[in-house]
Structure 1
Amino acid sequence: MSKFNKKKGGELPPVNTASLPDIVFMLLFFFMVVTVLRDNNLLVKNQLPKADQVEKLQKDRAVYIYAGKPSARYTDKYGTEGKIQIGDKYTDVNSLKFALTEARAKLRPELQDRVMVALKVDEETNTGLVTDIKQELRDLNMLKLIYITSPGTELDQ
């Protein structure tokens, strides 16, 4: 007859962690691919008007100008008048040329002459503000202008 030996300690065997670095790197790459980084913090209210004929814009050659009343969390500091936002900061009509020149300089050199200006204007914004922006764009010879809208028609609610 054979003897059965009992294990002396009732301990559990150690956990195999050989595949743990693979799992960690796989999760790291997943989140790097899936995460979208925001370019700008939107400081103005931006309820875009609706249009039924919309077309996609190439983002690599566009400078975005946001116009509208300040968002609800900024009304105490900036009031309720229409504001212009380029990048992450407000600008006024007088310093718009400088801000646009700076934004144009950030583009690739071969696209700086063919820059498109994309206006994202809130549907309740005063037309005078848009006219002032367009006049400054004419002075800078930035004549390719696109109005960004949301798809749909005004009848859609």
Structure 2
Amino acid sequence: MSKFKNKKKGDLPAISTASLPDIVFMLLFFFMVATVMRDNTLMVKNELPNADQVEKLSKDRTTFIYAGKPSEGFKSKYGELPRIQINDAFVGIESVQLAVTEARNALREELQDKFVVALKVDKETNAGLVSDIKQELRKINALKLMYVTTVRNPNE
């Protein structure tokens, strides 16, 4: 009689799951790096004016206010008049103070005094709307203001 028994022929060996956690974490890391978070859905036409002297600022202490006519997908609902967009919603001129104050208060305390409001205004927008926005910002002492433009080609 033999001490060793023959294995049954035809049985498949069990699948090793030892490397499964490595594969899962590698996929998780890939998707974390490759995924881009959406900022805002632009609801207004936003063709920026040109400038020859521009400076890039960090976005961590900036809130953006968009102004312009509603884009093609929103004209039927909101009409043709220029509108103000903060985050993903149209707001009236009376809501600018509240939205900017909320954005400032959401920042860390050491960044609140360095808070900047960026205006992305369509180049065909009436200057009166920009003036109204600036008046509302003055009321809440949001005086650090920048205008977002595109870089002008020096050959033009």
TM-score, normalization: structure 1? 0.82
1:91 aligned onto 2:91: yes
Q: CA deviation at 1:73?
A: 0.7
Please name the residue that 1:144 is paired with.
144
Q: CA deviation at 1:119?
A: 0.6
Please name the residue that 2:49 is paired with.
49
Q: CA deviation at 1:21?
A: 3.0
Q: How does 1:65-84 map to 2 (within 5 A)?
A: 65-84=65-84
RMSD: 2.3
Gaps of 5+ in 1: 1-6
Q: CA deviation at 1:39?
A: 2.5
User: How many angstroms apart in 2 are the aligned matches of 1:92 and 1:148?
Assistant: 21
Q: CA deviation at 1:31?
A: 1.1
The one-letter amino acid of 1:77's match is K
Gaps of 5+ in 2: 1-7
User: How many angstroms apart in 2 are the aligned matches of 1:119 and 1:154?
Assistant: 24
Identity %: 63
The one-letter amino acid of 2:105's match is A
Q: How does 1:3-152 map to 2 (within 5 A)?
A: 9=10, 16-152=16-152
The one-letter amino acid of 1:150's match is T
User: How many angstroms apart in 2 are the aligned matches of 1:52 and 1:26?
Assistant: 45
Q: CA deviation at 1:66?
A: 0.8
The one-letter amino acid of 1:111's match is L
1:85 counterpart SS class: strand
User: How many angstroms apart in 2 are the aligned matches of 1:119 and 1:144?
Assistant: 11
